[in-house]
Structure 1
Amino acid sequence: MIIQGPKRIAFFLPNTFTALNMACGFSSIIFAIRGQFYIGSMILLLGAIFDMVDGRVARLTGTQSAFGEQFDSISDVISFGMAPALLLYMKFFVSLGRVGLVISFIYLLCGALRLARFNANIDKISSDYFQGLPIPGAALAVIGFVLCATELDFGPYSQYIAIFYSLFFSFLMISSIPFASFKDSEFVKKNKRKVLALIFLTFALILLHEQFMILCVMVVYVLSCLVYAFVKRKEMSHIFDWNEDEEE
């Protein structure tokens, strides 16, 4: 069936945002190579915004497709896998030689594995929780860390902090720790005005102090999810167990 007219444009629109996300990832890589880490981080942040938009546009226009899902994953590998890994390497790990290459590659590898697992389980996973930290979230954590490092001097321990930080978020991506998606959250539904006000306040603070607020937001999100998962570990121990479904 050949799609024509407005419907054809509707199918083209979400893929345009995906392509813009990929372009931001590519541009971030170029700026990282040039040593312009602030610009590279900010343009990658723009890519994250495009990534949030493309899926929503596809759902609003009813144009979700297998092609769009695969295109989005390929784009995410570049923007949220390769670009953050290179930012980390060029900012912190160049002087470490092969060790720095390996640490940066581990982040990229874990991001690719996270995307592959997500695609393989896309029809099984609950909409309430992500299985492991999503790769855009890990990329935002890297962006926040790099931006903070452009403002603050971590001293002689900067490389060690960066190594721990990179490996920690790499592990979170391939873990089975549940991270809240807030898509069907009862708390959000019952407190829409408060949540909306909090979102606006957060965005305002990011616009005023992006060098620190992106890192703060991601650290608060990750730590709160880890604490919640630990407290509710018994109730959530089988949340990603699909053996029964597979047997059926």
Structure 2
Amino acid sequence: MKPGQDDTKDFDEDETVTAGPAWLGPKASEHERVTRSRAGKGLSLRAVLPNAITAAALCSGLTSILFAIGGQWPQSVFAMILAGVLDAMDGRIARLLKAQSRFGAELDSLSDSASFGIAPALVLYLWALVDAPRLGWLAALAYAICCALRLARFNAQIDMEEQPHKSAGYLTGVPAPMGAGFAFMPVYLWLATDAPIFREPLLVGPWIILVAVLMVSNMATPSWKSLTPSGDFKLAFIAVAGLLVGGLLIETWWTLVLIGVVYMALIVWSVSGYAKVKREMRAAATGDGPADEASATPPGARKPLAVDEVDAALSEKRDR
């Protein structure tokens, strides 16, 4: 033990740890790499806040079911949106406090499965699919199961070194919170227009099945890292964020529809961008294009990098 080191910890505050199950914790997004862990020592005091936020997201998502049972559809949607906001906060707060933990990782996945898988399926069934009980229930089951499968796939792959989408700065499939937002698109349109067509089971059922397929698909989808604005666009990004909040306050449902449409366009952009990355990697591997020093080094002779060094190297490579 180093002089002055706290023997109640199995990590150094400012050092990374070897990738493995012990360092998992609540994540800001699925491409994030965690840098420390208590490795089975239990929750630290600083870990209470992010895990409490995760529990709050779970409660908010499940409460949307209660509003749906009472026919309070706007409140049900707001509860789901609040769950998404809280889910986006817990990982960032955990990283800021250096409070990632295995407990937090498991709680986060269970919360996502209930809040963005089971809850939307039940809400949409009560809202529209109940009019076609057999086919509607099958569609709701398909959505809930695919959300759980997506989260299970992510947890199973988190320790794998070879993840092409993550290496290129993208996610694999639509994330669970965005999947829930997509699934509610007919509800947004119905609340905005009051048109009965958007509540038809023959429209809602195939739609949520499509969203379910997108969640478990292997297509590249945008991540926060891939959407980071460059220096020339940071001020414009701030302005757009402000206008977005204003739109949510004034024209809530149309703004949510706009967000969904923009995200669809970003998926197309991500698929195109990842295809370009694959072509460049294939060209470098066959010697038809420029290859950097790392790609020219035999895999067996390459020294493993620390977790944060991998992120820095990937970011630098994308910026070139």
Shorter chain as denominator, the TM-score bin is 0.7 to 0.9
Deviates more, 1:116-125 or 1:184-193: 184-193
Please give the root-mean-square deviation of Cα atoms over the aligned residues, in Å.
Answer: 2.6
Tell me if structure 1 keeps the 8 A contact 2:64–2:77: yes
TM-score of the superposed pair, with normalisation by structure 2: 0.68
Which residue of the partner structure matches residue 134 of structure 1?
175
Query: What is the alpha-carbon distance in structure 2 between the residues aligned to residue 64 and residue 232 of structure 1?
Result: 30
- Quick check: 1:149 aligned with 2:190? yes
Which residue of the partner structure matches residue 244 of structure 1?
none
Query: What is the alpha-carbon distance in structure 1 between the residues aligned to residue 279 and residue 85 of structure 2?
Result: 32
Task: For residue 38 of structure 1, report the CA deviation from its aligned partner.
Answer: 1.0
Distance 1:20 1:156, change over 3 A: closer
Which residue of the partner structure matches residue 43 of structure 1?
79
Query: What is the alpha-carbon distance in structure 2 between the residues aligned to residue 29 and residue 121 of structure 1?
Result: 31
Counterpart AA for 2:45: I
Query: What is the alpha-carbon distance in structure 2 between the residues aligned to residue 229 and residue 171 of structure 1?
Result: 16
Tell me if structure 2 keeps the 8 A contact 1:229–1:236: no
Identity across matched positions, percent:
32
Which residue of the partner structure matches residue 32 of structure 1?
68
Structure showing the higher helix proportion among its residues? 1
- Quick check: 1:174 aligned with 2:210? no
Distance 1:169 1:238, change over 3 A: farther
Gaps of at least 5 residues in structure 1 are: 240-246
Task: For residue 177 of structure 1, report the CA deviation from its aligned partner.
Answer: 1.0
TM-score of the superposed pair, with normalisation by structure 1: 0.86
Question: What is the aligned length?
Answer: 238
Task: For residue 69 of structure 1, report the CA deviation from its aligned partner.
Answer: 0.8
Distance 1:185 1:96, change over 3 A: closer
Q: Write out the 4+ residue segments of structure 1 that deviate beyond 6 Å after TM superposition.
A: none
Task: For residue 189 of structure 1, report the CA deviation from its aligned partner.
Answer: 5.0
Distance 1:72 1:237, change over 3 A: farther
Task: Determine which structure has more spread, i.e. the larger CA radius of gyration.
Answer: 2
Which residue of the partner structure matches residue 317 of structure 2?
none
Tell me if structure 2 keeps the 8 A contact 1:103–1:163: yes
- Three-state SS of the structure 2 residue aligned to 1:181 is coil
Identify which of 5, 8, 19 aligns with 2:55: 19
Counterpart AA for 1:35: G
Tell me if structure 2 keeps the 8 A contact 1:81–1:139: yes
- Quick check: 1:83 aligned with 2:119? yes
Counterpart AA for 2:188: L
